[in-house]
Chain A
Amino acid sequence: EADIYQTPRYLVIGTGKKITLECSQTMGHDKMYWYQQDPGMELHLIHYSYGVNSTEKGDLSSESTVSRIRTEHFPLTLESARPSHTSQYLCASAARRPYRDTQYFGPGTRLTVL
């Protein structure tokens, strides 16, 4: 199983601020993912990465950006936070195993933009 860490766990911030949500994993997984989830609702993929220097946008359009400079680190940045960005953000990673590729999730960051 993977050890996935996300910081901060909770963040309350004012409109217009720049924020970075941190995600790190210690298992050397190549694939990493960011999901956005409103309370009690399904998860929507916003970004993913195959490996270092690889990033792609997911199904849900997002104003956030990501980077993957190191295998273990996949931060998400919002240049100018807005109330519509209020949500939970979940990071996940997966190793390549034949026909399995289970995604393991971090604890999430609950973001509130005032």
Chain B
Amino acid sequence: AQKITQTQPGMFVQEKEAVTLDCTYDTSDPSYGLFWYKQPSSGEMIFLIYQGSYDQQNATEGRYSLNFQKARKSANLVISASQLGDSAMYFCAMRDNNNAGNMLTFGGGTRLMVKP
């Protein structure tokens, strides 16, 4: 069974500083994908970044980067130059590629609060 663990229920970061949100996962499948989503207080889920288990390089999307350490089964999200609009819940999710329905398993989330 797959499992996603986000150990930080809440975090503060000063505006313009970088912050790392932790995510560890557990799966026995060699082929899988890892996703990060942002959920503002309005409720929608916004896709941020994707990392495939066979990708050689860490994924980057603008100010978001994924610190993928396969041997440690971790996929931490790094947000550089934090902005007030980054305040939100952040969810890590995993999908194993043998799953015909391509369902996602979500972690419990981390609430990030950016201080001015």
Contacts and interface: CB of A to CB of B under 8 A. Distances in A.
Interface string B98-113: 0011111011110100
User: Across chains A and B, which 6 residue pairs bring their CB atoms closest together, nearest first?
Assistant: A105-B45, A108-B43, A107-B44, A101-B102, A42-B106, A43-B106
A48 interface: yes
Interface in B79-116: 89, 91, 95, 97, 100-104, 106-109, 111
B115 to A, nearest CB: 20
Contacts of B57: none
Given A41-B109, A42-B107, A110 B43 contact: yes
B43 A107 contact: yes
A106 B102 contact: no
B28 interface: no
A56 B101 CA distance: 9
Q: Chain B: interface secondary structure?
A: loop
Contacts, number: 66
A104 B37 CA distance: 10
A100 B34 CA distance: 9
Interface residues of A, number: 29
Nearest to A109: B43
Contacts of B102: 31, 94, 101, 103
A45 B50 contact: no
Nearest to A45: B103
Contact of A45 (B37, B46, B104): B104
12 contacts: A33-B103, A40-B89, A43-B91, A43-B106, A56-B101, A90-B44, A99-B54, A99-B97, A100-B33, A100-B52, A103-B35, A103-B104
